[in-house]
Structure 1
Amino acid sequence: MEQNQSKTYHEQTYIDNTLRLREILKTLPAFAKDYFRAVEPTTSAKTRISYAYDIRVFFHFLMECNPVYKNYDISDFTTADLERIEPVDIEEYQEYLKVYKNEDEKQITNTEKGLSRKMSALRSFYGYFFKRQIITKNPTLLVDMPKLHEKAIIRLDTDEVASLLDFVEHGGDMLTGQKKVYYEKTKNRDLAIITLLLGTGIRVSECVGLDIQDVDFKNNGIKVTRKGGNEMVVYFGEEVETALKQYLYTTRKATVPLAGHENALFLSTQRKRMGVQAVENMVKKYARQVTPNKKITPHKLRSTYGTTLYKETGDIYLVADVLGHKDVNTTKKHYAAIDESRRRLAAGAVKLREP
């Protein structure tokens, strides 16, 4: 869908997601609409879309695996059917989620995180009807949630940050022909985006939502729209300033955007506002060449910024504020853990035998 000129990126995204959710709700039992209407004030449209897909999987599981529902259409389900479900059915659903086929016969697998999200969606769904006394029992409360194992946080080391930026700036110098033309056309834009992500820690959705007028070189700040719609100014240093100006005064200035995309800061080669997927693919493309053993995404660049900021300032509340975390405990969990360099000190600290 083309972006309407009178609407901001975030307003248009909200409209698109709302319309998408309405379409998904048509493929769920009628009573499900009550739940989604109730959670609307406390969730984003994107979260509700994810929950709708996840809850739809549950009903498809019942029709596929439970003999009672083998002749059901999804529209046949009522809240009375929710009451008939026993804890063992929920446990079978957990098992089903590990590997199953979707409506297009495509095999789906879920990691711990995916399994946990789908179970959270179902628990929230059941919780709504139970709390309002529409059903008298909630079997999801009698089943243990999947255990989530902590994973090492992947981020770039200082020398890897420098290597990545150098590669974006000079990695195409040896190219020829059409590849060289494309590299030169996108180099300043790509360098500006990656420098901005590494230098401010903003989310990729916040990055693609930026308009030219959101950049303030007088105060070296950018106005970003955070999760939940709050606006905030994030400040940047000289390296980000240089990269943004280099892009704005060359590639961006020379590009005539398509109608509805005139204000967008970062444009694709099709002269439209860049999307989240495009930025993710671009970051992965460069990172693969520099750190092939680390799976680097825009979110990993955010983690890199948060880690560096915490190391330099030791102020977890500042890190939480700049990253736009509503709960400082989220920040503590990710950035205040013992860092790798301190952990390495342990290797030589304990002597087993006197020399």
Structure 2
Amino acid sequence: QEHLSLANFEYKDARNYLSFLYSKNLKRTSVSRKISTLRSFYEYWMVQDESVINPFIQLVHPKKEQYLPHFFYEEEMEALFKTVEQDLKKGLRDRVILELLYATGIRVSELVNIKEQDLDMNLPGVKVLGKGGKERFIPFGEFCKQSIEHYLETFRPKKSTEHDYLLVNMNGAPITERGVRYVLNDVVKRTAGVTDIHPHKLRHTFATHMLNQGADLRTVQSLLGHVNLSTTGRYTHVTNEQLKKVYLNAHPRAKKEN
């Protein structure tokens, strides 16, 4: 490689340097960070010396790598629910945590702040306070409703009457985000075939399953509390099972007539 002083660095040299970074098989985020650092350095130098030209100013930033959100398949979710049911001590509470996260796609920060008066068991659904203090209502189904009702009738009253937060720890205090993560990790350890879990993975799962079953993007955007539709668009990937289902229903020669 030819050694150049920073003062003699030109636009073509900046492009060559960018090509060199790509040849090292670096991640796009690493390349972008290096280019940003050099661009900022030259901007600072230009303030000190007006004769300096920033060779990186016109260099196009490499696009960030787009990662598909990880999600659970339906059979994996069923396995998680079966594991929770086997815990006689705290299974009722843990099932409500799992049901609400999967049935509504809410964030863990929204989950731990749910109070009993936020529930509407007639519709049924729950009111949550999202990012930016924006309130939204998310419906949920019968499985979730029954789990909450059973929990409120049996587990919840025994733990605390000093506050009205829905979810509590074993001491009766409102459960924390860390507490929810601990619960989920404990469930995974006892579930065969499931290796990792975090609250946001359940949010990804909710969105993926909704879209795969025909929900429109705008509705899912509203349920998730996303400001931009492009954020929700990350979930429009489809599973192999869904691809096969669509193919079999749509292609004229997909199914053999009897």
* TM-score normalised to structure 1 length: 0.52
Deviation at 1:162, TM superposition (A): 1.1
Letter in 1 for 2:65: H
Alignment root-mean-square deviation, CA: 3.6
Correspondences of 1:14-25 after superposition (within 5 Å): none
Letter in 2 for 1:341: E
Residue in structure 1 matched with residue 212 of structure 2 by the alignment: 311
Residue in structure 2 matched with residue 339 of structure 1 by the alignment: 239
Deviation at 1:141, TM superposition (A): 6.3
CA contact (8 A) 1:257 1:267 kept: no
1:276 and 2:177 matched: yes
Correspondences of 1:1-355 after superposition (within 5 Å): 148-170=64-86, 172=87, 184=89, 186-257=90-161, 262-290=163-191, 292=193, 294-334=195-235, 336-342=236-242
Give the Cα–Cα distance (whole angstroms) in 2 for the partners of residues 298 and 237 of structure 1: 19
Letter in 1 for 2:72: L
Greater helix share, structure number? 1
CA contact (8 A) 1:189 1:266 kept: yes
SS at match of 1:167: helix
* Larger relative contact order (CA 8 Å, sep ≥ 6): 2
Summarize the Cα distance change of 1:314–1:237 in structure 2 as closer, same or farther, 3 Å threshold: closer
Same amino acid, percent of matched pairs? 26
Deviation at 1:344, TM superposition (A): 6.4
Give the Cα–Cα distance (whole angstroms) in 1 for the partners of residues 193 and 57 of structure 2: 43
Residue in structure 1 matched with residue 4 of structure 2 by the alignment: none
CA contact (8 A) 2:121 2:145 kept: yes
Larger Rg: 2
Give the Cα–Cα distance (whole angstroms) in 2 for the partners of residues 205 and 138 of structure 1: 44
Residue in structure 2 matched with residue 106 of structure 1 by the alignment: none
SS at match of 1:284: helix
Deviation at 1:145, TM superposition (A): 5.5
Give the Cα–Cα distance (whole angstroms) in 2 for the partners of residues 207 and 324 of structure 1: 13
User: Structure 1 regions of 5+ residues with no counterpart?
Assistant: 1-87, 92-110, 173-182, 350-355
Summarize the Cα distance change of 1:152–1:293 in structure 2 as closer, same or farther, 3 Å threshold: farther
Letter in 1 for 2:67: K
Residue in structure 2 matched with residue 72 of structure 1 by the alignment: none
Give the Cα–Cα distance (whole angstroms) in 2 for the partners of residues 146 and 271 of structure 1: 50
Superposed CA deviations along residues 200-219 of structure 1, whole A, max 9, x for unmatched, are: 11111110010111111122
Give the Cα–Cα distance (whole angstroms) in 1 for the partners of residues 238 and 201 of structure 2: 18
Letter in 1 for 2:76: E
Give the Cα–Cα distance (whole angstroms) in 1 for the partners of residues 228 and 221 of structure 2: 8
Give the Cα–Cα distance (whole angstroms) in 2 for the partners of residues 139 and 291 of structure 1: 55
Letter in 2 for 1:157: Y
